Structures are given as C-alpha cells and as structure tokens.
C-alpha cells in the first residue's frame, strides 16, 4: 500500500489533529469553546472549522482540482477574514497540515518509497495556502467595502439631520439656502 493510501486510512485522526492545530491559533477561551461544542447552531464557528478541515483532508488526499479545493476552503477563509487575524496568521493553519501528516506518518516518513508522495502532498498544501490567501484577501476587501458603505450611510443620515444634504449624482454636499 502506498503512502497516500495509508494516510487515507488515517483520515479521521489527520482531520482531528489538524483541527486541534487550527484551534491553537485562537485565544484560549475561544479555543475551548470552539473545540467542545460541535452543534452548528450553538457553535457555528467550531462546526464550520471541523467540517471544513475534514473536507479539506479528503480533498488533499484525493488530489482534488483547484475548484473543489477553493469551494471547501471558502467558508473557512470567509470566517478567518472577519476575525482578528493578520493575513499570515489567517493562512498559517494550512501549513500545520504538514505537521499533522508527519505526526500520523510515524516511521513511514523516512521510507524512500514515501518521498515522492510526501513531496506531492507538500506541493498540494502549498497550493492550498496560495488559494487561501487569495480567498482571504477577497473577503477582507469585501469587509472593508461594507465598512465604507456603512460610514457613508451614517454620514448621509447625519447630514440630513443637520440640514445638509447629499447630491448622490454629483457627490457634493450643500446647505439649503435661507429663504
């Protein structure tokens, strides 16, 4: 049996270890909550993380195409984009999959037969990290656009209440003339 097939058999423990490593990127109180409750309604973040990680393990081990990987990665990166993570920290959990693979490999990692498979899995993880960064920046940009729109709406409301108005087409402000 080749190395990737052995890792497929350890899929559950791989996902569990990778989830544990991913949760370690969160503050202690959040980590404790996210790891205990797996109910989608009580703990949507923990549930999304657990489901996303499990899905990614399957896709990485099956050599899925980029579209499938991005679809599975999207909800995780959407979540991490609205949380208080730097871009590097938001994406860093991807690389911890390599550590999970190494842990689950045991002695197989030193086998000459496993080297090509390990290189291929590392390449897939690196590619996944690039996809994750692209998705993260897309959602971060969207978050900023939402904030700017909210500030614009807030300012327009304030201007209306103070007697100023906004001419949306000319993007100008003026005070009504005294009659």
Helices 87-105 and 44-61, interaxial angle, to 10°?
60
pLDDT band at 136 (very low <50, low <70, confident <90, very high): very high
**77 within a domain of the structure (yes/no):** yes
The answer to whether residue 120 sits within a structural domain is yes
Taking CA atoms, 109 is separated from 7, 116, 145, in Å, by 11, 11, 46
Range of the domain at 60: 3-143
Structural domains of the chain, count: 1
How far apart are alpha carbons 175 and 71 in whole angstroms?
50
pLDDT digits (tens, 9 = 90+) for 20-79: 999 999 888 888 888 876 677 888 888 899 999 999 999 999 988 999 999 999 999 999
Domain-embedded: residue 152: no
In a domain, 165, yes or no: no
Q: Judge whether residue 179 has pLDDT over 80.
A: no
For position 75, what pLDDT does the model report? 94
């Amino acid at each position: 049996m080749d190395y990737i097939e052995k890792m497929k058999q350890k899929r559950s423990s791989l996902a569990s270890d990778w989830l544990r490593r991913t949760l370690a990127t969160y503050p202690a109180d959040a980590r404790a909550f996210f790891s205990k409750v797996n109910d989608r309604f009580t703990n949507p973040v923990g549930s999304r993380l657990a489901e996303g990680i499990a899905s990614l393990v399957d896709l990485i081990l099956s050599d899925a195409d980029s579209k499938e990987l991005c679809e599975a990665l999207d909800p995780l990166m959407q979540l991490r984009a609205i949380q208080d993570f730097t871009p590097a920290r938001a994406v860093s959990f991807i690389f911890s999959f390599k550590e999970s693979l190494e842990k689950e490999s045991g002695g197989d990692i030193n086998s000459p037969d496993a080297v090509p498979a390990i290189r291929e899995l590392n390449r897939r993880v690196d590619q996944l990290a690039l996809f994750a960064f692209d998705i993260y920046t897309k959602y971060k940009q969207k978050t900023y656009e939402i904030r700017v729109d909210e500030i614009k709406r807030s300012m327009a409301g304030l201007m209306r209440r103070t007697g100023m108005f906004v001419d949306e087409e000319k993007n100008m402000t003026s005070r009504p003339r005294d009659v």
